[in-house]
Amino acid sequence: MSLPAIPVNPLSNPKGTKSLCELCQQTATLQCPQCRVTFYCGDKHHALDWEGIHCKICPLLAPFRALSLSQPVGRTAQDRAAQERTDRLREIVELTLEEGRTLLFGGKHNLAVPAALQCLKFSKELYGTRGLDLVQPFLVLAEASIGLSRLGHAEEYLSQAKFSLIQPDKAKRTSQSELDLMKSKLNRIYGLLYLAQNQTHKARNAFANDIYLSSIANGTTHRLVAGGYFYLGNSFLKEGKSLVALPFHQLVIKIWIDFFVENITICQQDINAKEGISEKIEFGPSVQAESSETLKALLQHHSKRAYHFGDGALKQLLASLSMLYFLFRDSESAKKYAEDALQCDTMEYRDLDQILNSLANK
């Protein structure tokens, strides 16, 4: 829980400068009492920023400010201080981006905005005000704006992301596959914008481009491609074309079940030891949130009879949720979904039964 913000002392600023709110860039009247380096126009924005991201980066900011203000003597000391400052900036950028994505997948669009704004702010400080390194925070801001029905803001952020994508990569930090993934994500969020504007045909074109570009980078069945198929299916479902949507959503289930089976196999020793996620696999908060929201949405479509999965696809869906919750360290939910999956009346996917029985008997 944050401490009450304290008033800004205008005399503490260098002459000719003033402190601005982290969220709206209006004149700040309050500052964080702990790190004393973030400023706000009022209590509302202080509370929103704290809940969205500041609670996680506040401990990093005070030492960062000390590094910024220090004046080390000697070339070696200066180089060491500069490297330490760069490392801390990079840590903050990575943390804020991951948190913003996690909040987006969790549907917490209002909280994703502060995280993305902080990511954008520190990315500019680390990499400069133009270039590919700004694309990701702009995309998070655009997607959050769509979720908040601020479509004008979303268009503006997407334009800035698109402009950043065409800037030359002078530092050569970005591979072609990473560039394809950025373009893929840009198309996906344009698709979401067009769906919100009821421009379904344009949305489908954008989702198709998303799938194409992410497939170039990772292949057609990688988990990073699943989102494109999911939203393409949703675009048909929005028009009541459930039979057209169904194959795309079945493919999403197939991608996620393959992902979880692979990782559960890696974690088999952990299952036997009744432990949770292994450190050998990549399963960060944003991946957890994306898979959870996607799979639960598909189960909801099935429950509401938007369409009906066959027993085979339903078994895969329930098995995916069971393995997801096991990796979440939620053994009770993992057991429930495993039992439901084993109840599916199908001879398909019997190879899942060993894993499901293991999870059902936790």
| pLDDT tens digits along 109-148 | 999 999 999 999 999 999 988 889 999 999 999 999 999 9
Tokens of 225: 């491609």
- Ordered by start, the domain boundaries in the chain are 1-69, 92-170, 175-220, 222-362
Higher-confidence residue: 362 or 44? 44
| pLDDT tens digits along 223-254 | 999 999 999 999 999 999 999 999 999 999 99
pLDDT above 70 for 280? no
Which pLDDT score is estimated for 150? Answer: 97
The CATH fold assigned to 222-362 is 1.25.40
CA–CA separation, 141 and 3 (whole Å): 27
- The predicted model gives 273-286 an average pLDDT of 61
pLDDT above 60 for 339? yes
pLDDT band with cut points at 50, 70 and 90 for residue 262: confident
* H/E segment holding residue 233: helix 223-238
Which pLDDT score is estimated for 130? Answer: 82
